[in-house]
Amino acid sequence: MKAVLPVSSTAGSIGDGAPVVLGEVSEPEPHDGELVLAVEAYSVNRGETFQLDGQLDRRWPGWRPGKDVAGTVIRAAADGTGPGAGARVVAHPPAYGWAERVAVPTAHVAELPDSIDAVTAAALPLAGITALRLLRAAGPVAGRRVLLTGASGGVGHYVTELAASCGAAVTAVSATAERGARLLELGAVELVTSVDEAQGPFDVALESVGGSSLPAALSRLAPGALLVWFGQASRVPVTLDFFDFFKGPLQARIAHFDYTSSDTTYAEDLAALVRLVSAGRLHPEIGTVRDWSRTGDVIAELRDRQVRGNAILTVG
* Bigger pLDDT: 8 vs 132: 132
DSSP H helices in 123-258:
125-138, 154-165, 177-185, 213-218, 244-247
Region 114-120: mean pLDDT is 98
Confidence of residue 9 (pLDDT cuts 50, 70, 90): very low
Structure confidence at residue 58 (pLDDT): 55
Structure confidence at residue 309 (pLDDT): 83
Confidence of residue 295 (pLDDT cuts 50, 70, 90): very high
Question: Chain-wide mean pLDDT for the chain?
Answer: 90
Region 269-292: mean pLDDT is 96
CA dihedral over 31, 69, 183, 272, signed as positive or negative: negative
Region 19-42: mean pLDDT is 96
Q: Considering only CA atoms, give the Rg of the chain.
A: 20
DSSP H helices in the chain:
46-52, 118-122, 125-138, 154-165, 177-185, 213-218, 244-247, 267-278, 295-303
What structural domains and CATH numbers belong to the chain?
A: 2-124+284-314 (3.90.180.10), 134-256 (3.90.180.10)
Mind listing the pLDDT tens digit for each residue in 188-218?
A: 999 999 999 999 899 999 999 988 999 999 9
Which bin fits 171, alpha (ψ -120 to 50), beta or left (φ > 0)? beta
pLDDT above 80 for 109: yes
Spatial separation of the C-alpha atoms in residues 143 and 139, rounded to whole Å: 12
Structure confidence at residue 56 (pLDDT): 52
Pairing relation of β-strands 12-13 and 34-44?
unpaired
CB 227 within 8 A of CB 251: no
Structure confidence at residue 15 (pLDDT): 47
Mind listing the pLDDT tens digit for each residue in 57-90?
A: 556 778 899 999 999 999 999 999 999 999 999 9
Mind listing the pLDDT tens digit for each residue in 147-171?
A: 999 998 889 999 999 999 999 999 9
